[in-house]
């Protein structure tokens, strides 16, 4: 999917382009979570679960989710949607947490080439949490 959007990615700053890739989710306690691939579609950033977190199976569904996510397989689920570039950050998209089924507003930014920060929040950014993801070579 990244290659399809390659021409559009060339118009983005290096920092914005660095958000596209294969990522190891790192939980707030430092333990590894699942894995996510981020990609561009029509100039917006999206992300799909490519490996579920330890303790889950590939057949697990998002039973706590609502709407279109309800009972959807977590593996393959698009959990990051519609982030658009603003300066060197990806802004105003949504993130679904398959663990609690909640959908959050968010902000995503690259730190160098091998680290990605994602802040999910309800209402205002002060009421949220930030995760750090590590690029998978």
DSSP 78-137: EEEEEEEEETTEEEEEEEEETTTTEEEEEEEEEETTTEEEEEEESSSTTSEEEEEEEE--
Q: How confident is the model at residue 78, as a pLDDT?
A: 98
- Residue 45 in tokens: 């950033």
- Residue 125 in tokens: 């950014």
Bridge partners (DSSP) of residue 65 are none
- In this structure, the strands spanning 78-86 and 128-135 are unpaired
Query: Full-prediction pTM beyond 0.75?
Result: yes
Contact predicate 65/72, CB 8 Å: yes
SS3 16: helix
- Residue 86 in tokens: 């603003």
SS3 31: coil
What average pLDDT does range 122-135 have in this prediction?
85
Gap between the Cα atoms of 115 and 65, Å rounded: 28
Q: How confident is the model at residue 127, as a pLDDT?
A: 77
pLDDT at position 31 over 60: yes
Percentage of the chain exceeding pLDDT 70: 92
pLDDT at position 4 over 60: no
pLDDT at position 7 over 60: no
Domains of the chain, first to last: 6-135 (2.40.128.520)
């Amino acid at each position: 999917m990244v290659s399809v959007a390659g021409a559009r990615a060339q118009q983005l700053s290096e920092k914005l382009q660095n958000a596209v890739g294969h990522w190891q989710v790192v939980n707030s306690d430092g333990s590894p979570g699942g894995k996510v691939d981020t990609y561009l579609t029509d100039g917006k950033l999206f992300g799909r679960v490519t490996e579920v977190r330890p303790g889950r199976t590939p057949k697990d569904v998002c039973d706590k989710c609502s709407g279109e996510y309800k009972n959807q397989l977590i593996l393959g689920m698009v959990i990051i949607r519609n982030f658009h570039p603003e300066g060197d950050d990806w802004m105003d998209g949504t993130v679904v947490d398959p663990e609690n089924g909640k959908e959050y507003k968010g902000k995503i930014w690259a730190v160098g080439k091998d680290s990605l920060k994602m802040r999910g929040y309800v209402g205002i950014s002060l009421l949220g949490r930030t995760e750090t993801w590590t690029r998978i070579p």
